[in-house]
């Protein structure tokens, strides 16, 4: 039996951390769909054509190092506005969502476009300031020489591009549960997401996803 959890939200809202944690808690598979766009963005920085890169994406591209850099994030956001790039990545994401045993996908358009029938939809947000501080901490930990203003400007540019594009823009699905992590620690945010998923599993009459 499949069970799909769709988690969307802007950059550094906490959706990836929540996605990984709930996948582990319920034994579901997890796909960070941002990695697909980052892998295409990285290939484009290296000189590839975006649509060709998206159509020929392989496991080795997702396992490549260097996908977490700010430069690749901006390139990912740019290629993500190209409809043919999104179309090339659609079937893989939908097949992943339907896998037996349950799946969690996090991204920007999971609840709206990839899995409009997902069993649970979460839309994770946090204030710009809090998101920038989280991302700054990660980047400083990687040894980057960067300040809060630059990180904030990066996030805002990406959110603006991701929200304004014509195809599959960043926005909450009408039936998404909003989770604001501005004042929540990781444990509390994860606990709330688990509560929403448990309620949805309960509505399935107590059957487990593995049946
Ligand atoms: O989640 P992330 O920061 O790794 O995503 C990188 C970029 O990829 C993001 O700025 C927009 C794009 N993206 C998208 O358009 N749709 C998704 N489902 C996931 C990511």
131 and 11 Cβ atoms separated by less than 8 Å: yes
Report the pLDDT averaged over residues 93-109: 97
Would 76 be classed as within a structural domain? yes
For the CA atoms of 124, 191, 22, 201, what is the dihedral angle to 10 degrees? -100
The owner of tokens 């996090």 is: 106
Instruction: Give CA–CA dist 141/118, Å, rounded.
Output: 35
Total number of domains in the chain: 1
pLDDT at 36: 98
Whether residue 208 is contained in a domain is answered as no
How confident is the model over 110-129, as pLDDT tens digits? Answer: 999 999 999 999 999 999 99
CATH assignment at residue 192: 3.40.50.300
pTM: 0.95
Q: Whose CA is nearest to atom 6 of ligand 1?
A: 34
Q: Which domain holds residue 138?
A: 4-203
Which residue, by CA, sits nearest to atom 11 of ligand 1? 77
- Strand-pair partners of 180: 125
CA 92-97-100 angle, to 5 degrees, is: 115
Alpha-carbon span 65 to 140, nearest angstrom = 18
Query: How do residues 57-82 score in pLDDT, each as one tens digit?
Result: 998 999 988 999 999 999 999 999 99
Which residues have CB under 6 Å of ligand 1?
11, 33-34, 37-38, 73, 76-77, 80, 107-110, 158, 162
| DSSP code, position 191 | H
The answer to whether residue 210 is domain-embedded is no
Residue 5 and residue 119 in contact, taking contact as beta carbons nearer than 8 Å? yes
* CA 36 to ligand 1 center in whole angstroms: 8
């Amino acid at each position: 039996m499949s069970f799909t959890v769709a988690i969307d939200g802007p950059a550094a809202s906490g959706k990836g951390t929540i996605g990984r944690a709930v996948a582990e808690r319920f034994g579901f598979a997890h796909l960070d769909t941002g990695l697909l766009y980052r892998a295409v963005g990285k290939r484009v920085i290296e000189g590839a054509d975006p649509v060709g890169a998206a159509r020929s994406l392989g496991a080795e591209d997702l396992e490549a190092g260097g996908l977490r850099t700010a430069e690749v994030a901006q390139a990912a956001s740019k290629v993500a506005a190209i409809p043919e790039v999104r179309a090339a990545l659609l079937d893989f994401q939908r097949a992943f969502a339907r896998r037996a045993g349950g799946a969690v996908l996090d991204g920007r358009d999971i609840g709206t476009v990839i899995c409009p029938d997902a069993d649970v939809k979460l839309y994770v947000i946090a204030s710009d300031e809090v998101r920038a501080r989280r991302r700054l901490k990660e980047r400083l930990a990687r040894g980057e020489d960067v300040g809060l203003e630059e990180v904030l400007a990066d996030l805002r540019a990406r959110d603006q591009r991701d929200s304004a594009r014509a195809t599959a823009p960043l926005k909450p699905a009408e039936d998404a549960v909003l989770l604001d992590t501005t004042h929540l620690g990781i444990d509390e945010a994860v606990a709330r997401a688990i509560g929403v998923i448990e309620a949805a599993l309960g509505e399935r009459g107590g059957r487990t996803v593995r049946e």
